[in-house]
Homo-oligomer: A and B are copies of this chain.
Amino acid sequence: MSDSNTPLISYSFSFKGTIRDLLRGSGQVMFQQSAWTGLLFIIGIFWGACYSGAPQVAWGALLGLIASTFAGWIIGEHVEDGRDGLWGFNGILVGCAFPTFLAPVPLMWLSLICCAMLTTWMRRGFNNVTAQFKINSLTFPFVALTWIFLLSARELTAIPLADMDTPALIVRIGGEIDWSFGSMIVYWLKGISQVFLINNAVTGVIFLIGLAVCNIWAAVYAAGSSALALAVALLFAADPADVTAGLFGFSPVLTGIALGTTFYKVNWKSALWTAAGVIATVFIQAGMDTLLVPWGMPTLTGPFCVATWLFLLPLYKLNPDVEPDMTDWKSKK
């Protein structure tokens, strides 16, 4: 199968090449087209998942990554996207999310594979929509399809829920902030590890190293965005349970890398715009938390998508002599 623009060449397998493209798919979750970055991300996932006694999350990540990359090949998607790792980044996130929120029964694994494959195909369609507005669908294929599956699991009783909130009308506020410096560092690092739904400070360090290996600015913006988001969440007295688990950090981290280093080049104008975007992401995170309470559903990386779209859509020209093009990205290798 092929879409109308597919060139005649199709994806060719080789042990080394395919491993590299899979690892790039992991790296592209944070916009880095580097196999080393992707490898460190996967190491971080395994560390965090095993540490918290949920290794199925790490195995799910690998499975989702492979399934979605494989899906690009069978449908005959653009080969250059496969080489850039763009077939895999939604799938690895699906693979982290399913075993986190659903019980590890066989039908869950089957659904995980199907959903991961769908993200690659639906990404083409979502990009056809967003390209009309000169933006990219980002991780929204993962978000939308995972939302559908998680919602459906409440009526499809063959897949029991694992760690999903009870539907409610009131946002639960709980837990307590530990204001020591050490705890702040932990919250800050967990804000980075939660990009892959991992609640672990060491994983946060590994992710930062992974970013720095490919693009030092990406590491700087990730670190800065998590810190800024933490400060805003503390200033506005956000739900302590979420703050201490890093749940106010992961979307701002992605917004920061996307706006500050991927779609705009680094300069002081784009840095200011990125800071505004990161702060807005905190409010969008809290708003979307409230929005999803009646279904007990997680926001996933939805706040990142919404915030980044909002700050890309005006197409402001923040880099001199560069016409802004937000339809796709080429990250530095």
Q: How far is the CB of A158 from chain B (nearest CB, A)?
A: 4
Q: Is A128 an interface residue (CB 8 A)?
A: yes
List A56-102 residues whose CB lies under 8 Å from chain B: 75
Q: Does A151 have its Cβ within 8 Å of any Cβ on chain B?
A: yes
Are A313 and B126 in contact (CB-based, < 8 A)?
A: yes
Given contact pairs A152-B285, A156-B237, A157-B237, enumerate 19 new A-B contacts (beta carbons under 8 Å): A1-B269, A1-B318, A3-B315, A3-B316, A4-B317, A122-B314, A125-B314, A125-B315, A132-B132, A148-B283, A150-B287, A151-B287, A154-B170, A154-B171, A154-B286, A155-B238, A155-B239, A155-B286, A169-B169
| Stretch from A18-26, A183-191, A198-206, A290-298 at the B interface | A290-298
- Number of identical protomers: 3
Assess the A316–B1 pair: CB atoms within 8 A. yes
User: A259 to B1, alpha carbons, bound, how many Å?
Assistant: 15
Within 8 A of B (CB), among A292-333: 294-295, 309-318, 323-324
Nearest CB of B to A313, in Å:
3
A133-B128, A168-B169 known; A121+B239 contact, CB < 8 A: no
Q: How far is the CA of A188 from the CA of B107 in the complex (A)?
A: 23
The size class of the interface chain A forms with chain B is 35 or more
* A229 at interface by CB-CB < 8 Å: no
- Binary B-proximity of A154-180 (CB < 8 A = 1, otherwise 0): 111111000000011111010000000
Contact with B along A113-126 (1 / 0, CB 8 A): 01000100110111
* Inter-subunit contact A129/B133 (CB<8 Å): yes
Q: Does A273 contact B (CB under 8 A)?
A: yes
Q: How far is the CA of A124 from the CA of B315 in the complex (A)?
A: 8
Residue A280 CB within 8 A of the other chain? yes
Residues from chain B with a CB closer than 8 A to the CB of A151 are 286-288, 290-291
Contacts of A1 in B (CB 8 A): 269, 273, 316-318
**Chain B, Cβ-Cβ closest to A156:** B236
Cβ–Cβ < 8 Å partners of A156 in chain B: 233, 236-238, 283, 286
Is there an interface contact between B236 and A4, defined as CB atoms closer than 8 Å?
no
Say yes or no: A287-B324 contact (C-beta < 8 A), given A155-B239, A173-B157, A236-B156: no
Of B4, B122, B170, B294, the residue contacting A315 (CB under 8 A) is B4
Closest chain B residue to A324, Cβ basis: B4
Task: Decide if A295 touches B289 in the complex (CB within 8 Å).
Answer: no
Q: Does A230 contact B (CB under 8 A)?
A: no
A2 sits at the interface (CB 8 A): yes
A284 touches B238 (CB 8 A): no
Closest to A242 in B: B155
Contacting pair A147 B287 (CB below 8 A): yes
Question: Which of B149, B167, B242, B269 is close to A283, meaning CB atoms less than 8 Å apart?
Answer: B149
Q: Is A265 an interface residue (CB 8 A)?
A: no
Least Cβ distance of A37 to chain B in Å? 28
Interface contact B2-A317, CB-CB below 8 Å: yes
With A287-B147, A294-B169 in contact, is A315–B128 under 8 Å at CB?
yes
